[in-house]
Structure 1
Amino acid sequence: MATPARPPPSAIILLVYPATLLLGSLFSAISPTARSSTSHPGPPASPLAPSLAADLHMSESPVNYFARKNNIFNLYFVKIGWLWTTVAFASLLLAQPAYRFYSSLSPSQQQTRIRRSLQAFLRYALATTVWYLMTQWFFGPAVIDRSFVMTGGKCQEILRQTGKASPHMSTPDQLAVLLSATTCKAAGGTWRGGHDISGHVFMLVLATAMLTFEAIGVGAFSFGSRVEGDCVRERKASDPDHDAVRNIEQDGDSGLAVTWSLRLVWGVVGLGWWMLFMTAIWFHTWLEKWSGLFVALSTVYAIYILPRKLTTWRDIVGIPGA
């Protein structure tokens, strides 16, 4: 297996996520603005109590724009966040020299490109599968919805309207209503009472971490430093990717594609981090945010950190840029 142009990023960079959640949670606890936005009748809620997100989105005029669930960034970025993640990842796969094919490549170099591309797609597929099972579908309702119900959560308004055991509802229909947050909210119900793992935290951490590791990996390959305005190191003619670097350097259009693909990726990562910070301030309890973080970082560890230590797993999923 080829060696990356420089070592892959340290797992220490993942500490930015717990630091972001901690900063946002502390801000929500001590800021008068945040506290007034989350205020509601009755005794103050414990930070480990059921989520206040339902109360927040019911407020007609939140103090902060980002406390509104209908803010433009939530509607057109976070709600379709995995689509943005997919587009950004696809731009890396299509534009970066680590994956592209050139006529001057030898058969062995072409095989290396194929292996890199397949492993990159496998890493994306694994992350997408975890995202889908957690937030969309897991042999019925998603894992987040199932865990909410298992910890005592209910669709309160639906229960009031139908009763605990409505004769007009079959058991599968009742389960569909009770186990799906989307169905509950669409029917005018309120999703309350259980441990609501933060899907926003989970998705934003997983997506931005995945794109960061992928971008740093392919950026380190060949001339990623030049894209950032630095001097690129000279590659020896014996380097298996020497011809590819030379072709890219002579092709202005390809160089432009490389630059813009990285800009897209870092744009998605930057906005994703900002929305993670906003989520940390305005939505969910501490425990719900940290449980979403734990699931996301566990996935990132399995896909990007564990292969560095486990050779058999590295041979399957690879390392970005290697």
Structure 2
Amino acid sequence: MTEGNFVDYVKMHVSSGNGGKGSSHLHREKYNAKGGPDGGDGGRGGHVIIRGNENLWTLLHLKFKRHIRAGHGEHGSSARSTGADGQDEYLEVPLGTVVRDTETNEILFEITEDGEEKIIAEGGKGGRGNWHFKSSTNQTPRYAQPGIPLEEKHITLELKVLADVGLVGFPNAGKSTLLSVMTSAKPKIADYEFTTLKPNLGIVKYRDFQSFVMADIPGIIEGAAEGKGLGYYFLRHIERNSILLFLVPADADDILKQYEILLDELRRYNPEMLDKERFLLVSKSDLLDEELKAELKIELDKTLPIDYMFMSSAAHQGIQELKDKLWKMLNS
């Protein structure tokens, strides 16, 4: 999937259908000029329903659907005939989609399971026909209920990427290169910051035909939790990952400090993200000779609070070792 086709944020207006009117019909036949009330009920207006679909990875198919309208319920008719219900409208969304009320920014619900359905705009109920109102003192009611009006909402759909492993790091730390080496994904790679503007997903093939999903998230900068850089547009994607794989390049001035800045941004955005399993990858380690690597290892063993390893995507060093480590973490 190309970067331009990855749509993870859509605003739209949805409206359900009006309920149909109840009928105030009075029964008339050739030999029955004054029959009783026999008006039928109105049909229910159509719902707008959001449904999870595990085969979708993006909101691209909804990008240009700004207005969604369900069908109106039909009016009731004679012989107590109930009007037809309005047609429901279904919005298929990928798993991990959050639905917000655009005006209040309140989270209405999240879709996390395949086939899960939630009504976002409920169709109006049909009005009752006049035969419901017949009584001993009012044997010929000439009135019926109108249908309940439709419901309208402005909603925002936000996709939080569902992946087993999420890559976290500063811009130009080598995340896209790692994804291209570990999977068949072809993310844009260049020697400048913010080459990646949208998350990229790839499937990592493991032994015995097993696999797991890895997500390349756009780079973090200091202050991202306050909206700097790409801010919330990428931090929300990290929430759905099982393991956070931090990337810090071997030529960084202070590897521990860079890791702590990244961790602090996640903490300020959502403290619950610190409960996830974490692993540090010292990327671009082909820039180090064995002596420098040994010195750096002694320093990191003293200061780093999590497990780490050296690897180089460009030189294909440590690829299988990293796959083994991640698979073990996912299945522990």
Higher strand share: 2
**TM-score scaled to structure 1, two decimals?**
0.19
Larger RCO (alpha carbons 8 Å, 6+ apart)? 1
Higher helix share: 1
Look at both structures and tell me which one has the larger radius of gyration over its CA atoms: 2
